[in-house]
Structure formats: C-alpha cells, structure tokens
Amino acid sequence: MTKLATIRTPDGTRAVRKDGEVHVDLGHPDVGSYLAAGSPAPRSDAPTYSVDDASFAPVVTNPSKVICVGHNYTNHIKEMGRDLPEYPTLFPKFADTLVGAYDDIVKPGETDAFDWEVELAIVIGATVRRADDMQAEAAIAGFTVMNDISVRDWQFRTIEWTQGKIWDATTPLGPYLVTPDEVGGVRPALQVSTTVDGTVMQSDDTGTLLFDPVFLVSYISTIITLRPGDIIATGTPAGVGHARDPKVYLTGGETVVAEVGDLGACVNRIV
C-alpha cells in the first residue's frame, strides 16, 4: 500500500513514504511539493525515520486551495432539513485552518457550538482546468482523512457558511495520503465514522456520496485551476452534533476519532 505523509523533524517538515516500520524521506518538505515535482523516487541513500516516533503535520502543509463540499450524503442532507441539491455546495478553507492528524485542537473561546464532521478528502496530484472524467481521474493522487470541525454559531450567522469553517488550527488532515489503487479506485466505497470518547456519532459509506470524487474534480476545475497538493473535502454524513435533539457539542476534554476505511484516522483531543 502506497502511503505518503508529511512529518515534523528537527530540521523542519519532510515528505515521506511509509515502508514497513520506517518513513523514507522523499526529498521535499511536504507531500504537496513532492506531488508538484512529479512524485520522484527517493534517493537510494534517503534518510529514514521511525514510524512509531512520527509527529504528523497536515499531509499537505500549504495547499493553494482547500475546497469543501457541503450536503453530499443523502442522510446528512435530510437531517439538516434540506432538499437534495442539483449542484455541489462549495466553500473554502485556508492553510491556516489545518493541523496534524493527532494534534490537540483548541476550542475557540468565542463559541459554544463546536462540532465534528468526518470527511473523505481528495488530494490533487496534477494541474487541471476544465477536466473531463478521464483527466479528473488522472488528477487524483490519492485520498486522506479530514475532520471539518465547525463553529456552528458563527457558521449560521449568515446564509454563507465560511466564517464557521475557517477558524485557525481546527481542521486535522491526514495522517496519510493513500493512492487510489489501494482503496478500490477513484470512486472508493469506504466506511466513514466519527466517535467522541468512544461513542459512535457518525457512520456511513463513501459509496453513497451524491457527487463522487471524479465529478467533483471535474466540476471544481471548471471554476478554478486545481494544482498538486490542493484538497477537496467531499462532505460529511449524518450524525453531526448540531443536528441532534438535543444538540451535542464539543466543550473540551473529549477525544474525537474521525476514520475513513483503510486511510486511517484523525485522533484529536479537544482542549
């Protein structure tokens, strides 16, 4: 299985490939720059690092763009009381929102409505604009895990959601990019779940996405050029805290596990 990550070292972040019990240095500071360079093979004398001691940075540390899709699982759309959309609902994130897969997340003092959202995230591996299906498939370098932690009271201050989605250091991404050939292709059917302190809050299957990864790459690249290292978060299934009765939010002290099939999990303590 091809797994790429960005790890923190005393000399800065490094893009690595998992090879058994070690991470092999790929000669670039993060996975995004490695993809932009054409994914070259590592040097025969490349440094290695212990997997057990790894400190994971966001799998791409500085993407040129992070595009998120809202309302893309039928069950989640229904729980939020909305009709099935004809087109994807899109909103941006920024690099400053990203943290590592195992980092603590500091709950902002300005919110009492801090919520979870497990997501399958697409990592772009080639520059594309107005991609057809074949070009869109070829542009998908792999998939990773995102938890789109959301500040609901700010999100719903207006009809546009961005201000509830872009808080500093609240969005874990990683730990690994896994290539499509290892997860059933570019339209994978993977189990997605969120647990909070061991209680299952979300559980679904990416095979039920309304707009699949290939469609999303084609659709979004019609609007804007997608570049290596860019991230597309494909949406979250039913089970968010905001849609529960009564509502359930993260207050501090919880451990949130957002997991996607064979990709791994983001495991984050709320502090």
Q: Which residues contact 246 (CB under 8 A, 6 or more apart)?
A: none
The whole-number pLDDT of residue 75 equals 76
271 residues of the chain, pLDDT tens digit each? 699 999 999 999 999 999 999 999 999 999 999 999 999 999 999 999 999 999 999 999 999 999 999 989 987 777 777 788 899 999 999 999 999 999 999 999 999 999 999 999 999 999 999 999 999 999 999 999 999 999 999 999 999 999 999 999 999 999 999 999 999 999 999 999 999 999 999 999 998 899 999 999 999 999 999 999 999 999 999 999 999 999 999 999 999 999 999 999 999 999 9
CATH number corresponding to 66-269 = 3.90.850.10
When computed from its CA atoms, the radius of gyration of the chain, rounded to whole angstroms, is 18
Cα 24 to Cα 59: distance, rounded to the nearest angstrom: 15
pTM higher than 0.85 for the full model?
Answer: yes
Euclidean distance between CA atoms 190 and 205, whole angstroms: 5
- Angle at the Cα of 10 from the Cα atoms of 8 and 13, rounded to 5 degrees: 30
pLDDT at 226: 98
Q: Do residues 78 and 210 make contact, with C-beta atoms less than 8 angstroms apart?
A: no
State the span(s) of the chain assigned CATH 3.90.850.10.
66-269
Q: Count other Cβ atoms within 10 Å, centred on residue 138.
A: 14
Kindly state the tokens that stand for 116.
């979870």
pLDDT at 82 (0 to 100): 79
* Residue 1 pLDDT: 61
- With tokens 């302190």, the residue in question is 197
200/259 Cα distance (integer angstroms): 11
- Please report, as a single letter, which amino acid is at residue 195: T
CA distance 257 to 265: 6
pLDDT of residue 134: 98
Task: Indicate the helix (H) or strand (E) that contains 49.
Answer: strand 48-50
Cis preceding linkage at 40, omega within 30: no
CA distance 88 to 210: 9
Cβ neighbour number for residue 86 with a 10 Å cutoff: 6
